[in-house]
Amino acid sequence: MLPEYRPFLGWIPALMSSFAARCLALAGLVTLAAPALAAPQPSAEVASRQLVEAVTCKRHLTPAQFAALAKALKATELQAYGPLSDGEYALTTPLLVLGQPVSRLHLYDGANGEDGIDSYTAYFTTAGIEQIAALAGTPRNAAGDYTREVGRHDLSVRQDDGQTSIDCSYDLR
């Protein structure tokens, strides 16, 4: 190393530590400000309306938004939504979908599976498949299913193990 560069190189550690200190201070400020910048949790009324719109193909939510709205209703997590799992929620207060009470919600994150299609399902407490299909305006098709296209989405009414459900599968076309 040449002698004339030694005084200059002596400043580098001081500059680096000063720069590092500024970065750490900035990171601390961002961390402290993050909770203040977070969106407030929606009211139960807003959460209910948006969840109903999601299961009836009227509002496209991300899976994380759907999960947050279900939590806003103080739903019991039967299965926590996460990077490798769907979310399933039991409602303590029934949600009215098409005027009928719903006791459980389910979200499928297409990014976790092979198809890339998000879907949201509501399970009715007492209503039958024909009643819900009529309320949803979903006639039986040639295959015997109650499914109709809603723009790029499919709205389906099903009955599994005696329980009727309605679901919307997003961005199919």
Q: Using one digit for the tens of pLDDT, what is the confidence trace for 5-39?
A: 555 555 455 544 555 445 444 444 344 444 445 56
Same domain, 121 and 82: yes
Q: How many residues does this entry show for the chain? A: 173
Strands (E), the chain: 76-79, 87-97, 100-108, 119-124, 146-150, 153-160, 163-169
Same domain, 105 and 27: no
Same domain, 30 and 99: no
Same domain, 119 and 144: yes
Average pLDDT over residues 109-127: 88
Where is average pLDDT lowest: 34-38, 67-71, 96-100? Answer: 34-38
Q: How far does CA 169 lie from the centroid of its chain?
A: 13
Same domain, 159 and 137: yes
Contacts of 121 (CB under 8 A, 6+ apart): 55, 105, 106, 107, 108, 165, 166, 167
Q: What is the domain extent for residue 77? A: 44-169
Q: What is the pLDDT of residue 78?
A: 73
Same domain, 33 and 117: no
Average pLDDT over residues 168-173: 88
Q: Is the pTM of this model over 0.85?
A: no
The yes-or-no verdict on residue 125 having pLDDT over 50 is: yes
40: three-class secondary structure by DSSP: coil
Same domain, 21 and 77: no
Number of domain units in the chain: 2
pLDDT tens track for 133-155:
999 999 999 989 999 999 999 99
